[in-house]
Amino acid sequence: MTYVRNILDWFSNVFYTFGVAYITWALLALAIWMAAYYPPKFEIPFFPISYYTGIWVVSLLLPLTSTFYLLFDLRLRRNQIEDAAKSGQIQFVYFANSLTALRDFSHLLHRRFRETCQPLELVAFATIAGVIAFIGIFLVFYNAFESVPGKEYYKLIDQSGGGRIIILAGLAGSLAGAYVYIFNKFRTFDIYPSTYLQASIGFISGSLAAVFAGSIYDSKILEFIVFSIGFLTAVNVAFLSSLLRHEFARLTGVKLPDDVTGDLDAIIQNAGAIESLHNIAVYSVGELVKADPLTIYLSLPAPLGVINGWVDEGLVLYYFGPENLALLAKVGVRRFTQLLELAVEQWPPAGSGIDNLAWKTKIELLSDFAIEPIVRNEVRCIVEARVHNRLLGILHDRYRESVFFPRP
């Protein structure tokens, strides 16, 4: 029965990713065929090679990235997490004393994986982003160089600011920024449906904001400024809101409050990882150490060992503060698991539980510091209160063996 269930799960995973990718490109191929032959009055052919081919290629890059991500990167990422978890025997942390802990953990990871990234939603937003790019290129790039006679609205555009070249620069900047944003995410295994949604919003808002930049900036290099605004908005949507807030404050004399960025940069020196944590509403070290480790693994592109190091240091920062963190670093202690190793006198046999841990009456390495009794008592209280029981089981091998492993 277990063998049959594993086969069904395997076929389910294959269809879940491969099937969605194949259906997506079948629909896109139908769209290309219909654009070329129906209706004849509005032909936008892919072949023969022409200006329209470039429009198709540029716009189809967005759903193409989602397809490659589904077929290769997404499954690779899941397998990496599963292999790393199994090698560390983390399955016992989630299913202690279970005879089928490994199978149960695989099913749990599979469910969390589906909750984290939905292939149907991913390709839907990728396709929508491609359609928006297609329409934008066709309407703006093509019409930017068309002759004015017969189209009165072009006269109004040409009479204001830099004319159609400003619109072209804004669209080009936002389109380039959207692609840079997508490919950076693709490179770091960090693509989600919201990635394409943000790229679409950045593309639209960047293009519109860039057009109105002439009302704020009167410069001979207005085209460059417009391109930059579109590019930076598409790469980071928050840039536009920040720009508008500061420009409004400058023009009206209003004093703005300081931006709250959180304290994750105190332990994580990786802007991409911090951005990924912000995407799942984790803005502080306290939120990081209290989150489900499996959710963090599935949301960050970094290796599990690196993520564990960040969380381990985060525990010290959260409970002892930056001053004591710097003080402990002087003796080579940066992680909570190091303090745990120093505070425990003897680890009990496998599966004995927390209550059987033997604690030291003094930590010799910290004997010269006044915080020694505070650190020792705090470490013991955290462990015995079981507030980070699962997290410590993942971070520390001896803790996992003593608390979660089945009794021999």
DSSP for 150-214? T-HHHHHHHHSTTTHHHHHHHHHHHHHHHHHHHHHHHHTT---HHHHHHHHHHHHHHHHHHHGGG
Q: Which two tokens stand for residue 110?
A: 């599979």
Q: What are the pLDDT digits (tens) for 62-115?
A: 888 888 887 777 777 777 777 877 777 888 888 877 778 888 887 788 777 777
Return the pLDDT at 3. Answer: 52
Q: Name residues whose C-beta falls within 8 Å of residue 110's C-beta, 6 or more positions apart in sequence.
A: 9, 13
Return the pLDDT at 359. Answer: 93
**Percent over 70 (pLDDT), the chain:** 83
- Count the Cβ atoms, other than its own, within 10 Å of residue 24: 22
Q: What are the pLDDT digits (tens) for 237-246?
A: 878 788 778 8
- Count the Cβ atoms, other than its own, within 10 Å of residue 69: 28
Q: Name residues whose C-beta falls within 8 Å of residue 94's C-beta, 6 or more positions apart in sequence.
A: 101, 104, 105, 108, 294, 390
Q: What are the pLDDT digits (tens) for 123-145?
A: 888 888 998 888 888 877 666 55
Task: Give me the residues paired with residue 359 across strands.
Answer: 344
What are the CB-based long-range contacts (under 8 Å, 24+) for 239-244?
Answer: 240/202, 240/205, 240/206, 240/209, 243/209, 244/209
- Cα dihedral 15, 20, 21, 25, rounded to 10, equals 130
Q: What are the pLDDT digits (tens) for 172-190?
A: 888 899 999 998 888 777 7
156, pLDDT greater than 50: no
Q: What are the pLDDT digits (tens) for 100-126?
A: 888 888 778 877 777 777 778 888 888
Alpha carbon distance 62, 136 (integer Å): 14
**pTM of the entire structure?**
0.75
Return the pLDDT at 289. Answer: 94
390, pLDDT greater than 80: yes
Alpha carbon distance 63, 17 (integer Å): 14
Alpha carbon distance 192, 299 (integer Å): 9
Query: 94 in helix, strand or coil?
Result: helix
- Find the mean pLDDT for residues 339-361: 89
Alpha carbon distance 15, 22 (integer Å): 10
Alpha carbon distance 223, 211 (integer Å): 10
At residue 43 the predicted structure's pLDDT band, cuts being 50, 70 and 90, is low
Amino acid at site 196: Y
